Structure 1
């Protein structure tokens, strides 16, 4: 993957405010990579340790299984509570 793609994804993730979340697909779209949600996941796994990676969830509002416990704990600190391991759907 090229450096420009990497930096675009990193910038989008950096811009997610505390207490809010985004999906891998939303990050991909904002970075100009529609349909590349898995690429976003790979970038965060390989080069996202200094980013607020915990604010990026799966499209169904769940955490990736291998990081679920730590991700939920970090989100809880920011006031984001998961219900049964999932981000509650917004009403209305």
Structure 2
């Protein structure tokens, strides 16, 4: 898809000037229905996660558990053995 962002116009004073086209260009935001539905679902799930964090007594502990789980998964991928207890952060 070729998008024309503007064009040069010859001026009476014997120079050319760049004149930008309409913004946004026609057709640049034409997405399929499938993409729009997936985007709306992602927005909904992010909102749901944000809502859940408001009900947690300790958000830092909640995030710590995900970081510790990620650390143990990374250790297993690298071929070492680690547990969540081993992934203690100070």
Q: TM-score range by the shorter chain?
A: under 0.3
| Larger strand fraction of residues | 2
Decide which structure has greater helix share.
Answer: 1
Calculate the TM-score normalised by the size of structure 1.
Answer: 0.25
Between 1 and 2, higher relative CO (CA 8 Å, sep ≥ 6) is seen in 1
